[in-house]
Amino acid sequence: MRFVYSSRYVVDLGGHVFPTKKFALTAEKLGGALPFLEPGMPSREDLLLAHTGAWVDKVISGRMSLQDETLMELSLTGEVSRAHQLAVSGTILACLDALRFGTGLHIGGGSHHAFSDHGEGFCVLNDIACGILKMMKESKIKRAAVIDLDVHQGNGTAQIFSKNPDVFTFSIHQEDIYPEIKQKSSLDVAVQRGTGDKEYLDLLKENLPAVFNRQPELIVYQAGVDCYQKDILGSLNLSQEGLLKRDLMVRDFCRRFKTPVAVTLGGGYSMEIQEIAALHAQTLLCFVE
């Protein structure tokens, strides 16, 4: 096992609410727990697995309209484009590691708001979809699932896989926040603001069997920590211990059913960036034990 990570995930977004420095801080907190693997740039063909040619060309060239950037809530500089392309390779490597070792660990990724033909919500390219579809294209798997426990619904992932019966998408998310218009996942569980540890964990335990009943050969776990009680973009009330129990439950289900799992970080927007990094590190270390 190893951590997949690139220092080039950290880019200067000015005063943006998305703290890219969290990737470096998470890597730092993980220390020497495992070796690190640096992803390279993906091929255009890898990006085309989940995205239209027109969108891929915009991302690679860096030439986007104001409308494109408004939807993404990001300005697409060369560094931003490179970081998001590298994250696609990172999740592909994590998927390969999952199939080889049982677990793949990506200190990045989880861009679940990226649609096939545009980006949204700080997400340029859907690394989750690219990773799964790459494994399918190479005939490494036939069926996959996404467990998305970010506070926001994975609308882009749901859209990309909406007509693919071999990929089961499961999302637990806060109902009354972004995205305003939700897509239809295979299984959506919408929760109310203020939902705390017990109710959340009970819902997770109740609904996870539906994922494994489909007998996926690979799971990508989008492990956003923006369900945390101090998050500034979400309004759920999960404690640090609650997030730990959440991650352990996903891990234990994967191990019980002997299902390979690739972990991506997803969101996290506490005012204390060190706290976000500590929560992300906690998630990854769960899957190391």
In terms of residues, how long is the chain? 289
Tokens of 116: 């096939």
- Whether the Cβ atoms of residue 84 and residue 59 lie closer than 8 Å to each other: yes
Please state, as a whole number, how many other Cβ atoms lie within 10 Å of the Cβ of residue 76: 19
User: d(Cα 135, Cα 251) in Å, to the nearest integer?
Assistant: 21
Question: 113, 152, 173, 280: which is the annotated catalytic residue?
Answer: 113
Q: State phi, psi for 16 to the nearest 5 degrees.
A: -65, 150
Number of H helices, E strands in the chain: 10, 8
For residue 173, indicate whether it is catalytic: no
Please name the residue ranges forming H helices in the chain: 21-30, 44-48, 53-61, 66-72, 78-101, 127-137, 155-160, 197-212, 240-256, 273-288
What is the Cα gyration radius of the chain? 17
Q: Are 56 and 179 in contact (CB under 8 A)?
A: no
Q: Which amino acid is at 127?
A: D
Task: Determine the Cα–Cα distance for residues 5 and 103; give it in Å rounded to an integer.
Answer: 15
Rounded Cα–Cα distance for residues 233 and 227 (Å): 9
* Pairwise CA distance, residues 41 & 191, whole Å: 37
Contact 276, 103 (CB under 8 A): no
Which are the catalytic amino acids?
A: 113
